[in-house]
């Protein structure tokens, strides 16, 4: 059976060449935290998530610092009895990367994103953005939903795939109270 190009790209990304990736990450660390790039690095993943090589589609690479998602342990002053060091951020790194890309490119809308690499300090993501004012986007049936007014700044409202996952909306079990929101469920319980 003959396999296509995207199959081999996907296989190559399962075990990427560490030397080439290391050289790329050295360059990425020197560049800005949110950078516009010409083409996606992982073409197979970008195409799966809706990317097309035509006007209106923009790819941004986002560098994100790892760690720091836990409350610091108190070392002086008043403290809790258990000294809890719980996680204080419910957002995933992917969702944060999408939000930062949205804030940098305010006239564009985030479609989706994917991880390209990570090292000891940083995560690197590529975010697919769309320009809703372009006629190519308005006439494309697959992505024209982004031009509707209800989808403005959708990433900041947690409406992208990463946002919905972080909000717990993938779990559709009838006993788990996640819709319309966890806070709404708590209000109704009173």
Domains held by the chain: number: 1
The reported pLDDT for the residue numbered 60 is 98
Q: Which residues of the chain have pLDDT under 50?
A: none
The reported pLDDT for the residue numbered 14 is 93
The reported pLDDT for the residue numbered 184 is 75
Side by side, the strands of the sheet bearing 57-65 are: 34-37, 57-65, 122-130, 109-118
Asked whether the beta carbons of 88 and 106 are under 8 A apart, the reply is no
Asked whether the beta carbons of 77 and 120 are under 8 A apart, the reply is no
CA gap 124, 34 in Å, rounded: 10
Classify the C-alpha dihedral 88-93-99-104 as positive or negative: positive
pTM: 0.86
Question: Which residue segment(s) compose the domain that 152 sits in?
Answer: 5-189
Helix, strand, or coil (residue 7): helix
The reported pLDDT for the residue numbered 57 is 97
> Per-residue pLDDT tens for 25-42?
999 999 999 999 999 999
Residue 85's domain is classified under what CATH number? 3.40.1120.10
The reported pLDDT for the residue numbered 126 is 98
What is the percent of the chain where pLDDT is above 70?
A: 96
Dihedral angle over CA of 171, 187, 154, 36, nearest 10 = -80
> Per-residue pLDDT tens for 106-127?
999 999 999 999 999 999 999 9
């Amino acid at each position: 059976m003959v396999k296509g190009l995207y199959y081999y790209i996907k296989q190559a990304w399962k075990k990427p060449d560490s030397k080439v990736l290391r050289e790329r990450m050295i360059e990425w660390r020197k560049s800005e935290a949110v950078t516009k790039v010409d083409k996606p690095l992982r073409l197979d993943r970008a195409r799966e998530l809706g990317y097309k090589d035509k006007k209106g589609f923009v790819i941004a690479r986002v560098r994100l610092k790892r760690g720091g998602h836990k409350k610091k342990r108190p070392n002086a002053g008043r403290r809790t009895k258990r000294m809890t060091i719980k996680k204080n951020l419910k957002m995933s790194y992917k969702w944060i990367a999408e939000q930062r890309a949205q804030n940098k490119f305010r006239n564009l809308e985030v479609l989706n994103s994917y991880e390209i690499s990570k090292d000891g300090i940083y995560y690197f993501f590529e975010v697919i953005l769309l320009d809703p004012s372009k006629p190519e986007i308005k006439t494309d049936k697959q992505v024209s939903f982004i031009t509707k007014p209800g989808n403005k700044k959708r990433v900041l409202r947690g409406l992208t795939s990463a946002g919905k996952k972080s909000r717990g909306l993938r779990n559709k079990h009838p006993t788990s109270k996640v819709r319309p929101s966890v806070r709404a469920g708590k209000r109704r319980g009173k």
